[in-house]
Structure 1
């Protein structure tokens, strides 16, 4: 019997060998596949965890960024309204002085300067802060991943974020002086007695923006963001020097410059929309202390009557208004108290810039680059 079994095995030896090889290979292949599957699952779980962690960190950075921007925007707006204070001129005009025409000319320049400085200052502040906070956020994420010596310590972080303090103070004053010279070129020739349309007001803002873009003496404020941020910084440390140079490269990039210019143009459009509401109104309501003038520059109180028929539709493109009558209500748009339901241009610009999709995308792209491990 054993002889027959042995003969059977000898006759089919090759079949058994091939079958064994096949099953052995299949077993090894299954083990290999299971091992690779476990490795893939571990990698995917790790990648998912890292993505979730990174997303949460970015969202935290974004919240910090928005809070910082809102806080500093308030300070910058107050600084601008303090530097370009129209209240003193308003008080003098209410006394009906002999030099009221000269005061109105001064008021005209100051109101347009106020608006333009707000547009440029808040746009520059938003862009530079988003760049800074997303660069620092990216570095902090990398530090949280690596267990080596941190790239950014708390002292360096505080020093880096304090760079914007110069712009909030002296930078705003320098910007105001530059823009005031430009406003005089664009607005001074317009007579106070002239009846202006909404398109003419828009053209004034467009002229100011164009002149600033081509300013060969002082330079375009948008392209001077690096100067406002690090122009007066003392750099005496290697790590600080590295992060400042990286920030300068980002701020001088075409992408950031393009986004900044876009925010400036969008802000001017929003202001023109607010002024359009003045032209669209049949009556411009005023309070007891509201400053109003007649065509002869006589100070009065009351309301500016644009149309006697309250139910008649007003096409803002066909309405005109004496320039001198438009100035007080435009000035009121800048200083109104929003808690009473009124529009406040500084707060309006800050809100729109904070929600701007281009600025958010810019911040996300910068964070992604600097958080790449």
Structure 2
């Protein structure tokens, strides 16, 4: 029996060798497949964790953006009220002075100017802070990856001092930038409304056309590059958000408090901010916010143009809407109070609408995505 078994093995020796090799190879291949599968699963898990971490950081950053915008509304309203003070004129009108008509004309210009300036200020504030906080937010996210993915301490960019100095640039929008913007708006309003008599009757469509005329003048100017001979595509309102480059080095007291490396980083951040402000996406989002703002003003004023119940159906337009008109003198107090609706404290439906607009959210996500990407690994360069 044993001899027969030995003979059988001897006769089929090659077959047993081949079977052993095949079996061993199959086992090794199975083990290798298991290892690769586990490696792929670990990679997928890590990527999911990274995506979840980035999404959480992004969502937190957007909440910070919203809170920052809302917290700056009182400052915006205060600055506009100081630059375009209507309260003083109203007090003088209550005293029934001899130059009553002149005061009403002044109030006409100031009222329209501060409402239009309010729309510009709030729209610029919302979009500009989206740019700033998502650029710095992207760098802050990268700083959380120190020691991971091969990143070294040299990658730190968004230090507290850098954050403070960079984010302080929004103050330009609320000070010098706003002052220049208000001057431009007031000049445009005087050109459009200066000669319009107080007795002239206007409807909502007329006011909409007035807004369009003022916007055309304020937004018509293009920023050209000196010496280039070519027209630049920078949005004309950008000049009110960031100062010209020659003015950036002002403020030695602040500059001396941080290192030269941090100053270099701040300069890099401002260059990147300007690049974003020059993008077509920024232009589109800002213009959409402005359109929403002026539409909101007209919506707010619509109640004051609703006809009385004595108006019959014969006077109605075919669409069922009545194109009511009011004297300009009666419209002025209404337009003067729009600053409270546009720049008022929370809850502010208008600001909430801007913050929740899809184009604003998508733009914020694109900015954050651009500045939260890991730098390319030099070891993988061809």
TM-score normalised over the length of structure 2? 0.82
Q: After superposition, what is the alpha-carbon deviation per residue over 1:197-251, rounded to whole angstroms, capped at 9, x for unaligned?
A: 1110111001111222213599999434255324332286222221111111111
Offset at residue 329 of structure 1 (A): 2.3
Verify the 8 A CA contact 2:222 2:236 in the aligned structure 1.
Answer: no
CA distance in 1, matches of 2:26, 2:243: 66
CA distance in 1, matches of 2:59, 2:363: 14
Verify the 8 A CA contact 1:226 1:251 in the aligned structure 2.
Answer: no
Residue of 240, 243, 263 corresponding to 2:269: 243
Aligned to 1:287: none
Q: How many pairs does the alignment contain?
A: 341
CA distance in 2, matches of 1:30, 1:317: 80
Is 1:345 the counterpart of 2:342? The answer is: yes
Go from structure 1 to structure 2 and tell me whether the alpha carbon gap of 1:48 and 1:313 turns closer, same or farther (over 3 Å shift): farther
Verify the 8 A CA contact 1:124 1:222 in the aligned structure 2.
Answer: no
Q: Secondary structure at the match of 2:275?
A: helix
Offset at residue 322 of structure 1 (A): 1.0
5 Å-filtered alignment, 1:127-276, equals 127-147=127-147, 148-149=152-153, 150-215=156-221, 222-225=235-238, 228-231=241-244, 232-234=247-249, 237-276=263-302
TM-score normalised over the length of structure 1? 0.84
Is 1:35 the counterpart of 2:35? The answer is: yes
Residue of 257, 273, 277 corresponding to 2:303: 277
Verify the 8 A CA contact 1:124 1:260 in the aligned structure 2.
Answer: yes
| RMSD of aligned alpha carbons | 2.5
Offset at residue 257 of structure 1 (A): 1.4
Bigger relative CO (Cα 8 Å, ≥ 6 apart): 2
Offset at residue 33 of structure 1 (A): 1.1
Aligned to 1:360: 361
Go from structure 1 to structure 2 and tell me whether the alpha carbon gap of 1:188 and 1:216 turns closer, same or farther (over 3 Å shift): farther
Is 1:323 the counterpart of 2:328? The answer is: yes
Q: Secondary structure at the match of 1:146?
A: coil
Offset at residue 14 of structure 1 (A): 3.1
Verify the 8 A CA contact 1:279 1:316 in the aligned structure 2.
Answer: no
Structure 2 alignment gaps of length 5 or more: 225-231, 250-254, 375-382
CA distance in 1, matches of 2:56, 2:291: 33
Aligned to 1:48: 48
Structure 1 alignment gaps of length 5 or more: 283-306, 336-343
Offset at residue 356 of structure 1 (A): 2.4
Verify the 8 A CA contact 1:58 1:367 in the aligned structure 2.
Answer: yes
Verify the 8 A CA contact 1:84 1:110 in the aligned structure 2.
Answer: yes
